[in-house]
Structure 1
Amino acid sequence: MQAVTGGVDQVAWQPEDADIAVVERMLNLVRAHLGMDVAWASTLTADEQTIYAATGDVETMGVPIGRGLDLRDSYCARVLAGVIPPVITDARTHPIARELPPTMDYGIGSYAGVPWRGPDGAVAGMVCGVSRQPDPSLGEQSLRYMALIADVISDHMGSPIVRQRHATAAIRHTVQAVLDAQSVRMVFQPIMRMTDQDMIGYEALARFDPTVFTGPDKAFAAAARCGLGIPLELLALRQALWRLPDLPPDGWLAVNLSAEALLDPHVRDILLLHAEHRLVVEVTEHTQVTDYAPLTGALQRLRQAGIRLSVDDAGAGYASLQHILKLRPDLIKLDISLVRDIDTDPVKIALARSLAGFADQIGAELVAEGIETAAEQDCLTELGVTYGQGYHLGRPAELC
């Protein structure tokens, strides 16, 4: 039945409890007006139908809620394809309906169904009503009433708030799939001492399937948006620490963690278990810090255990400056925007020189990131920058 799935969205809507309650009220109106035993609303994909809301004698008729059903066996697919009419007054005598599995499974005697549509106008699901007995009163007027109800459901499901909830649910599903499959790949970029170009450590960087997330910043932002930010950071941390035995024993490993993740006791416990491995924690800006007191308290035990603290993106804006002033890091990383073409820009040179002096006064060391040319490296070395990383010094790569 090639035509069955024509016009149906490939991704089903996933309504939440608040949406289901609204739809159930609409379904009760259908049952009351048409005198039907059960009314339901479903979502459709290319091969599945899922009833997400139903009212009436649901248990008696055995209507499954929340479980994907084979669309090929359904009334809905055949209605959409024009194989059967949208109203069947006696399912047991209809030449096609009487042979369909739902007729026997649910004891359907009569049926009426109309589509509801997503924001793009494509069919997203069906609103259906069934009874155990034949009902000759069903007809065009019944369909017109059901179509009005389906329009209300379409408008509700297409509202900006509901669409936002659906988008968040879809993102959560994607991130959860990454977590379940542990599909975070770590690469390691060398950090070099500028004066002699000795390799003194690595920064662990997360990588994702580019068909799922176009970059790690997109992945972590999506995870934070749907409430899975800490689990995703924790997975990346575990994957990075798993490679500790493969690193030089006298080098450090820098791992990126948000302030929110560092406030999580489980994250801190894992860091403390590996404190002897010369860890550096780079505080990222996945989430904004509004109160530094809890964060400084959480970091105190880590620093007492020998874990050093690094602040990223110095010179890029107010947020990184706040991090430096409030957290007093051991390492300050110059942002790539400051490093790029610094050898030809007097303003950048002046700012980097000021930051080098500031770092020296507070007992911190500078790390320049994003070094791509020998001229940039020479300029930064002359300015007193201690460490550097970038494509000129070494690209991120998997460990052998």
Structure 2
Amino acid sequence: MTGTAKVPRLGLRPNLAQFGLLVAVNALVGGVLGQERSVLPLLAERTFGLTGYTFLLTYVLAFGVTKAATNYVAGTLSDRLGRKPVLLAGWLVAIPVPLLLIWAPSWGWVVAANVLLGVNQGLTWSTTVIMKIDLAGPARRGLAMGLNEAAGYAAVALTAVATGYLAARYGLRPAPFLLGAAYVALGLGLTAVFVRETHEHARLEAGGHTARADGRHDHLHAGLSSREVFVHTSLREPALSAASQAGMVNNLNDGLAMGLFPVLFVGAGLSIADMGVLVALYPAVWGAGQLVTGPLSDRWGRKHLITAGMLTQAAALAVIAVGGSFATWAVAAVVLGAGTAMVYPTLLAVVGDVAHPAWRARAVGVYRLWRDGGFAVGALVSGAVADLWGLRAAVWVVAALTAASGLVVAARLYETHPARRSS
């Protein structure tokens, strides 16, 4: 009762304990995702005998479509029911995932597990983003998103390394997925007992919300319907729509990395252990780099960091397409992670900058719908191209799409940071 009676305050310092807890919770969310990153492509080939790349990527497609749709639902439900119930529901959905992966007698069971994983990630990751934006207030959104995404993707990377080691030492099943089961149990317990509702923080910010000095968004008032929020975020509002397409292309890259990088690396003669290191390097740099790029976007602004990040990713993918050794691919993975770190938290900060607090959770849901739809698009595009012309051709196509996305950001996105708007 005492906690609910407190008057909410905005900012990282007055909410440090709860913010830190949510960082830890999102690390567990990332760990649940990371449990299959090194192992599942090999499981598809060696246990279930899948050879076509498009068929192999059905699990990425199932995950991406489900997560994208759940992101949208999570934003709407967070406004209607509150943040904590949605977060708790996400953890409950995750309980069967490692069990299905351990005991799957056919590839259909693996796809079903990834449908549930998509629901879990959509509900939990979206909600931790919304809750951190609620707590942080307008001044330090870049830092808040950097910490959130760094925790999640560092956990993805560390878990990818750990499961690669476990798979090499103990086999592809069950050892790697027991780690995922432990993450689910811990995340569910922390959320149920210690996480507190943050919706009141959003209401507090909405009460003191002021219009931009440059006149933008005067028409984007607090009373937008969910349909209007969808249209503004997807198409009409330049910053939100530019961020949505960049987010989609960014995760198109990640869909390629999840599904085809392990096969490319092992097919070139690398060991499973070396492949696990390469697969982990990209999200490791991505995760750690956001500790720098998130607060950097608060200092430098959003637009140029996003543009440079998309072009950096495109260059790294080109190197992966032509590379053939562990050292070359390691350098490219580091550069790819750095480019992604420049983009990922900054795009979320753009949504937080532009969206009114009254409908910000729904805008985050729409943005994440498009962003994580990139997993599905990446699976379809890269799988089809790989089947027709080979793995390296698929990487080249994704590199070209990424460069084009960076040019769209340069042309359409204006500066959204509160302290940088006048420039």
TM-score bracket for the superposition, by shorter chain length: under 0.3
Report the TM-score when normalising by structure 2: 0.23
Larger radius of gyration: 1
Structure ranking higher on relative contact order (CA contacts 8 Å, 6+ apart): 2
Q: TM-score, normalised by structure 1?
A: 0.24
Between structures 1 and 2, the one with greater helix share: 2
